[in-house]
Amino acid sequence: MINSFYPVIMSKNIKKEAEFFKKVFKFKETFVSDWYISLKNEKKFEIAFIDSQHETIPEKYRKKCEGVILDIEVENVNEVFSYIESQKEIFILLKLKDEDFRQRHFIIENADGILIDIIQIIHPTEEFLKLYREV
């Protein structure tokens, strides 16, 4: 039924957003125009950025994206945190911490104010383990 599913983020600066994902998460460009950039990584995960003022977006919604958290699961969150901490232009909102619900993570804010939660899965406490379901 579904062939693909990925976020398209409305942005005022699509080039800056794409550069961040290419630099930090090793995404590669699959389509580039002045109003839309599509990226994919080696594991076939995709993300795209569209100019928030583009004519294909209904006029009422032509603004930067708000109220979104992008969760990105990584193999080694400590490594990514160290790298991002060294980048002065990236604002860390939540420092690296372990959560009982199965995450070691930190949260940053991208150039347009979207939250990015960078996560490594860890073992949950017994209380939270009971809440997980097999799919």
C-alpha distances (whole Å) from 20 to each of 15, 35, 56, 73, 124 are: 9, 17, 24, 16, 30
pLDDT at 30 over 90: yes
pLDDT digits (tens, 9 = 90+) for 86-127: 988 888 999 999 999 999 999 999 878 889 999 999 988 888
Rounded Cα distance between 62 and 87, Å, is 30
Rounded to an integer, the average pLDDT of 54-82 is 93
DSSP 12: S
Instruction: Tell me which residue has tokens 């594991």.
Output: 43
Lowest mean per-residue pLDDT among 7-11, 37-41, 128-132: 128-132
pTM of the model: 0.86
Give just the sign of the alpha carbon dihedral 73, 19, 113, 38: negative
Q: Is residue 14 within 8 Å of 51, Cβ to Cβ?
A: yes
Rounded to an integer, the average pLDDT of 27-38 is 97
Structure tokens at 116: 């990015």
